Amino acid sequence: MPARRTPRRPAAKAPTDGRPGGGTPGADAAEPADPIEPIVSRLLAAIGEDPARAGLARTPHRVAKAYRFMTQGYAQDPAELLNGAVFREDTDEMVVVRDIEVYSLCEHHLVPFFGKAHVGYLPKGRIVGLSKIPRIVDAYARRLQVQERLTSQIARALDQVLAPRGVGVVIEAQHLCMMMRGVEKQNSRAVTSCMLGLFRSDARTRAEFLEFLR
C-alpha cells in the first residue's frame, strides 16, 4: 500500500500508539504526535485558515517543534548548568560578557522579544567558565517571559552559584508585540537592569560596569 498520505484508519488491529484518530496530516506514523499539534490545527481553523491546504499540512508539526525548542529552558536547571564550571580563582577584577543575543517569548502574547544581554560580576574567589554565561541567558530566555523577570533571574542565578561581590545584568530588547500590533512603535527598546551586591550599593562599581556597555 504505497498511499502514505491517506489518513490512517484503524485496521483489523487497534492502533497502538494512543494517538487520537484524524491525527496531523503528514505526521510520521512511527512518532506519536506532539500534543501541541492538534492545538495548532485548531488555531489555524479558528483564524479562518484551512489546516488541510497543502502549505499548512505540516505546519502543526513544525510549530510544535519550534515551540519545544523555544521553551526548552523549562527542562534546564541553570544552577546545574553552572555548577560543573565553577573554578577557584583569586581575581577580583570585574568580568563582563556583553552583547549576548537574547531570543525569548513574551508571556502576554506568545510573540518574540529579542535583543542583547550584558552580564557582569565581581568575583570573590570563584569564577565561572565564560561560555556558561550565554547558556544561562538561554536557559531563562527559552521560556515564556517578561523582560524584567528574565533580567533578575539571570542575575540571581549567578549570585547564588558564585556568591560574588556583585552582579549586574542589563537587557535591551525589542518586543514584536509592541512593533507589530498595539502601539506599533518600530524603534523603541525596553531596557531593564538588575544590580546585586556592590553593583547596587557602590556607585563606582556600577559606573564601571555601565562604562563597559558603552
User: Which residues contribute to the site for Zn ion (CB under 5 A)?
Assistant: 106, 108-109, 177
Residue whose CB is less far from Zn ion, 122 or 150: 150
Active site residue 108: yes
Which lies closer to Zn ion via its Cβ, residue 76 or residue 174?
A: 174
| Residue in 118, 125, 116, 124 with CA at minimum distance from that of residue 209 | 118
Q: Is 175 a catalytic residue?
A: yes
Choice between 109 and 156, CB closer to Zn ion: 109
Of 76, 174, 177, 208, which is the active-site residue?
177
Catalytically annotated residue among 107, 148, 160, 211: 107
Angle value at C-alpha 107, between 103 and 111, nearest 5 degrees: 55
For the CB of residue 180, give the shortest distance to Zn ion in the complex, in Å.
10
Catalytic residue among 61, 153, 175, 194: 175
User: SS3 helix, strand, coil % of the chain, rounded to 5?
Assistant: 35, 25, 40
- C-alpha–C-alpha distance, residues 32 and 23, integer Å: 9
State which residue, 32 or 182, has the beta carbon closest to Zn ion. Answer: 182
Q: Is the Cα dihedral 132, 140, 43, 34 positive or negative?
A: positive
Strand, helix or coil for residue 135: helix
As a whole number of angstroms, the distance between CA 133 and CA 110 comes to 25
Catalytic residue among 31, 72, 108, 211: 108
CB 104 → Zn ion: shortest distance, Å?
11
Contact criterion met (CB below 8 Å) for 193 and 168: yes
| Residue 206 CB coordination number (10 Å) | 18
Ranked by CB distance to Zn ion, the top (closest) residue is: 177
| Least Cβ distance, residue 147 to Zn ion (angstroms) | 10
Known active-site residue 194: no
Nearer to Zn ion, 106 or 133 (CB): 106
Least distance from C-beta 175 to Zn ion, angstroms?
Answer: 6
Which contacts qualify for 52-58: CB closer than 8 Å, 24 or more apart? Answer: 52/25, 57/25, 57/26, 58/25, 58/26
**Active-site residue, 118 included:** no
Of 109, 172, 174, 208, the active-site residue reads 109
Enzyme catalytic residues: 106-109, 147, 175, 177
